[in-house]
Chain A
């Protein structure tokens, strides 16, 4: 029964959380109140952990909550609950799109959706940049700039986008090296 309920609660979260990642947060918060499975304080910890482990944040937090409530089976069931609605919805859209991919309306819609999508990704990148490169809450923008973070970013940019030889290396390498640099210089 617990597992069924767990699946259902996460199915609802997956169905209504639009926009990915932290969009699941308000649903998890409501779940804490309604089910008593975990407290708000525990939820905050789970989010912090989800953000600092590999994998999409929404999936990580579902797995974590599921594990807390029902061990390994709980983790699996909560995750499956979360992804089931989106798999059904996306497969439906993908099948429809395949039949209509040459329709002139579909072509035009994507012509304008693509730049919009790139803009949304860029704006998400800028939000990360604010956290990454600015420290403190007051003072001028220039005074809040974190020079060590900027140095890491500059090095990564040169290696991953400018030098032809290193450009081809896998991005995970730059992530690993930046983690080490972070430990050494902060």
Chain B
């Protein structure tokens, strides 16, 4: 099957937990082109697995839009979603065992998954072909039951089962968790093989190395797309509402509640200047086409801004002044169809502080 792309616009997902509504996805904007290989990163509870479940048609969007290929996930009925899973989207759940029937052999597990295919549709590949794709075509291995396989093999078998009907999109949740390095590499090789065969691959992972091996990383934080990475570099993504997720180390310097001046620079970048940093303000030139809130372009922005804020506001200002020259992102990165301009010609991040950072460094992820 041809590769399938994914489009999310303001995707919101809410579920109930012990009587409370929990917002798992709070407006995800994401585009994944057919044939892409994407890793969804983010801390636990950030919503990446929920996003995967929504894309798999296992959860309904509460608001926003989500398309998987031609399927509008908000409008599709259960039969349509089942049909989608049977032919277009393969899903590998977290934990290999959960994807497999313990009493069937590897080959039979693949065939069991193929039985879900719509009758009259294209003939699914043979179980051997599918297993070959993940490096498990050995006759002896095919006849083993999941309990008789190594953890790595089990995981690859789980991928094989998800790929049983040669879907255009593979969704894999934590495919490398609880695996040793070799097994992980085998799984990643299998994923690479799948990708090379023209299948769009979306992997949820906590493992930065896995993310690095994928073509693109999308970091989900607080139910939103918080950053993206390309070739090992991580970028903050300006949201539709103008919000930007700060890196962890920056967040330490600029804790929540900090008042910032965002000072556009002539070179297209922007400075984030804490409100009490006079020296920094003095050094800064106010951009002619940009002014902080309440100031006209070209107007001097004083260090103290209390008079422009509503009375009684108790927002704390940082004691030390820090300025970050921020380069504005080219327009193509603000469009709905972002295209990575290519390695080397892409945008750089300010003074280079972010250059070469790994996502884990960026968000303080230790896993």
Q: Tell whether A pairs with B.
A: no
Q: Write the residues of chain A forming the contact surface with B, with a CB cutoff of 8 angstroms.
A: none
